[in-house]
Structure 1
Amino acid sequence: MNITIKAGEREVAATLQDSAAARDFMSLLPLTLVLEDYGDTEKISPLPGKLSAAGAPSVGKPFRGAIAYYAPWGNLCIFRKDFRPSGGLVILGSLDGDGLKALDVPGKLRVTIDVKR
């Protein structure tokens, strides 16, 4: 499942896994979010609804460029760095190629996420 994340004039391609959570996320698209820094590890934003974590491992191992859902808070996360395994973290997919360059900026970042056409 392919999506795009547009930040200003830059557009990043990403690929989602075939999972219940990723399908739920796709059903929310198109979606405009304001991503904020969470530490220096990730960008996060609350989602407008909960995603299903059915069939997902109880612990997710995030990596640089991972797109994830943190079920306890209902947040979308885009990881700027590798991070330790975390309970309640569901990996949805990852940014393609060097897509993180467009999103790896300090501060708030308004993005529009949509199905790749």
Structure 2
Amino acid sequence: MIDWARVDELRFEIGSDSFAEVVDLFLDEVEGVVMRLKTQPNPARFESDLHFLKGGAWNLGFAEFGALCQDGERKAALGHRDGIDIPRIVDVYFTSRDIFLAGLTDRGRSGVFAA
């Protein structure tokens, strides 16, 4: 669900302070779009919303979420919006987020993220 190698790589590339900022920004921006998909889905925006989510997801190691967004984006581009499982995308985001945040805490304790 989470590509921890990607998470470690990103954190190493940009440093701990910048990494924390990226995580906060990612969660804030992505969660806004995810909540819109959940509460006010607009099929006309699926392609652009899923493209946005996919980029952020893969950048931060949310592998399964990113793959679902890519699949949905492709379906939307082909006009198959009814085939996009928005509830699953939303559920996988929240599950991924919880696993990610717990993993960051665990990795911090184990010294993986020590500066």
TM-score with structure 2 setting the length: 0.27
**Structure with the higher strand share, 1 or 2:** 1
**Structure with the higher helix share, 1 or 2:** 2
Q: Which has the larger radius of gyration?
A: 2
TM-score with structure 1 setting the length: 0.27
